[in-house]
Amino acid sequence: MSIFKECDIRGVYDTELTIDDALLIGKAVGTILQGENIVVGGDSRNSTPVLKEALIKGLVSTGADVIDIGEVPTPIVYFAKREFRTRGAVMVTASHNPSRYNGFKIIMGDMPLTPEQIYRIRDLTLSRCFRTGEGHYERSAILPQYAEMIRKHIPAAGSLKMVVDCGNGITSILAPGILEEMGHSVVPLFCECDGDFPNRDPNPSVEKNLLELKRKVVEHKADIGIAFDGDGDRVIFIDDKGRFCSSESVFIILCRHYLSQSPEKKKIVFDGKAASNVKKSIELYNGIPLPERSGHAFIKKRFIEEQAVLAGEVSGHFFFSELGYDDGLFGALKFCEILLKNNEKLSNMIDKMEKPLITEDIRIYYEENERERLLKHINQKGSDYSLSYLDGVRVDYPFGWIIVRKSVTEPCVTVRLEAESLKDAKRITSHLFAEKYKDIGEQILSSLLNRK
């Protein structure tokens, strides 16, 4: 499978993504930027140092001036790009993927990379028609400026007891310390950087990965549990009863806060595969809901274009108008600020919400040809109902909906279904999967039964 995805570059280190690839990608990015300055950072994966070194070598060889900010979470690369006023930025990371993966999140200009720009990088690595020059390299600290930015936007009035699970990812270097500095009482969990991720998978949006965090929240009678992904641009929460909080529930609380700040209608971008109560809540709080295709680049682009006050993705990415990008730690601090202002337990706030019957993101791993056949099958079988194509294929029934889409980061399709009742969910699955792909229907019903 190609390392060049729709939103970034990613693959298994030393099998799909090599040091030579990193060098060529650096040369390609430097060529496109025409030797302009660029920020480079990396996460704590074992393969990051060598890939980063090769990337920088490639960049400098094109005449680019590189500012190396060391090992940092991805949002700090975004922050540094703005702080140093550079044209580009590269983060060496595979985000939430397992430890054997690595990759590059690339920014060239003010907007996220388009698939076409990624394919241009790919084509340059094949043609090797690179610009040449003598660039400059320097290292620069950025964490003090970032901490100052946090203090500017978030009042140091914390008093929550929290368990913080960094998953041995790069947020270990600063999240517990900043949360304590803001006044919170922190119980650290897996807060030592380890590129092997020995304690849990770096994807916190999968509930089974947070069993220890849930247990610790109950054990320590904490107000909240906070979990970050491998590179720190996503955040997931556990309530005071040790229950997993869906990103939709968290996003609804954030929406209510941001929309209550003024009577003016504000735009909010949301994940097109989010539960129906997200759109309903934005409208209820006098906001303008804007659905967008899943995927960091697509959500962020729409967020910037619309000058929205907030954006959210089901995977736990939250984008804030104060920043202009997503940041897991900022999201955690802002969410805790909201909890304190409401003076209410998180479990109470969650329990008051409408609870749609909806599956988790179900990942089904197929070869490319089979993925295409599945989408064609859904398109044909769903033609008697309302079809839409914002993201893969969505079929809307009078009693629910289903989305089947190709993942932009993994060789799989993701499936999500919402229905008014379990009976209605069975009607949808029997309609779409009775003759073929019965395993998908079974996984959907199993997911719903487990979440009830």
For tokens 């029997």, what's the residue?
A: 430
Determine the length of the chain: 452
Which one of the listed residues 10, 45, 184, 371 is annotated catalytic? 10
Residue 429 CA, chain-centre distance (Å), reads 28
431 counts as catalytic: no
For tokens 């919170």, what's the residue?
A: 184
377 counts as catalytic: no
Which one of the listed residues 234, 293, 317, 394 is annotated catalytic? 317
Which one of the listed residues 44, 47, 61, 95 is annotated catalytic? 95
Q: Which two tokens stand for residue 165?
A: 């699970």
Pairing of strands 88-92, 38-42: parallel
Asked if residues 36 and 64 have their Cβ atoms less than 8 Å apart, the reply is: yes
Asked if residues 402 and 432 have their Cβ atoms less than 8 Å apart, the reply is: yes
| Alpha carbons 96 and 50: distance in angstroms, whole number | 20
Nearest to 315 by CA among 357, 375, 273, 364: 273
| Alpha carbons 18 and 187: distance in angstroms, whole number | 38
Q: Which two tokens stand for residue 427?
A: 């009607």
Asked if residues 334 and 160 have their Cβ atoms less than 8 Å apart, the reply is: no
Residues annotated as catalytic are 10, 95, 317
